Amino acid sequence: MVDIVAGTQWGDEGKGKVVDYLATEADMVIRGQGGANAGHTVERDGRVFKLHAIPSGIFNPETTCIIGNGCVVNPVGVETEIRELQKVGINTSKLIISPLAHLVMPYHVLFDMLDEKRRMGNGKEIGSTHQGIAWCYADKANRSGFRVEEVLDLGQFSNHISQELEWINDRLSLYGHSGLSLSQIMDEIEGACRFIAPHVMNPIELIHTAVSGSKQILLEGQLGLMRDLNEGAYPFVTSSCPSPAGIIAGAGISPLEIIEIYGVMKAYTTAVGAGPFPTELRDQIGEQLRTSGNEYGATTGRKRRCGWLDIVALKYAMMVGGFTSLIMTKLDILSQLDEIKICIAYKYRDSILASYPTTDLLGKVEPEYETLPGWKEDITGATSMDELPEAARSYIDHIEQLLGVPIVIVTNGAHRDKIILRK
């Protein structure tokens, strides 16, 4: 039994909480793509955890958590996450890191910062998190990267780095940087590589034994479909594929094994970084959503841009992602509003667009809104749909009708217990 949890918007939809909830019955949780450029926030026992690389199923001691083949791994960052979890008594002994994943190296982070600075000078910044993710994936595609398996033989790893160092420093010189020495690189990562090495093992046979044994497996996506390298608003995308298809490929599982594809969506829309955002609110309501929803990036702390729910983008995500069920998060954040708008169409030059536009056109469209009544009452105490205000129920029903995909779970608060099962 293999299910997927993936983001349907621009990331930050609340996937961490959802995976933490679903992982209570999961034998295995696998991250299939991405790296430390996005965080999944989980609130448990009065503590807030921000996971960047480790799967959100780590809080269930019976769940095997796998950082999969399609991920990129910063050894220093993963060591830090493991130590922070262990410090508060979380068992990390069942964490596995695939040797087929790629290593984010110190020079990848350096390239990321230098190149974003160059882009800013040209007014073409992407909004990078400076985690080195794009440069790691670029080296992977160029077949000049280092896989996690290197940490199992650090002497050989050091030799491999020295063979690539001239080429690495030649590229750094293009940015006016004097370059890195082998000792600088090894001093930064060697301790972390030794620390994570006991967690490194090829998970493929373990995964497929679990599949054949009808174990419950959950694939956890990072970011959202609108940030997908292939389907997203390029170039304002991530460097991996957070669509369900990309997550499957990075986990090493056949698509034929997938039972359910859960799409996680906020009750409104947020985005971090640059790029077109048709429903963005640059007014008091946008600031209210940011403040009430604590809309600050888990990785960078940057303010998230907030806006009304975008049905046009979500319909595109439904078409591409093949979502079978939806999970709506942060419904409670809308409780402060007299009325709520949703974008039901894009207009360009007095014409309604027939399909989702290219990135350039997306930045020029005007959203066409439908206005629905709000509910100015606290809903965080609700435990069933019947306990929600009629206007809140109508909001959910209407969105489900527009998207044509059932909304099966609604969350009404940050804590993991603030979940309403709808269907």
**392 vs 408: CA distance, rounded Å:** 15
Integer-rounded Cα radius of gyration of the chain: 22
State the Cα torsion 372-373-379-385 to the nearest 10°: -60
**144 vs 153: CA distance, rounded Å:** 18
What is the DSSP code (8-state) at residue 67? E
Phi, psi (degrees; rounded to nearest 5) at 74: -90, 110
Q: Is 415 a catalytic residue?
A: no
**282 vs 108: CA distance, rounded Å:** 34
Q: How far apart are the first and last CA of the chain?
A: 19
Cis link prior to 235 (omega < 30° from 0)? yes
Paired tokens of 138: 């670029």
Nearest Cα to Cα of residue 40 among 3, 65, 76: 65
Q: Is 397 a catalytic residue?
A: no
Phi, psi (degrees; rounded to nearest 5) at 342: -130, 140
What is the DSSP code (8-state) at residue 304? P
Catalytic residue, chosen from 12, 20, 27, 115, is: 12
Catalytic residue, chosen from 40, 52, 102, 199, is: 40
**245 vs 223: CA distance, rounded Å:** 14
One-letter amino acid of 266? K
CB 356 within 8 A of CB 313: yes
Which residues are marked as active site?
12, 40
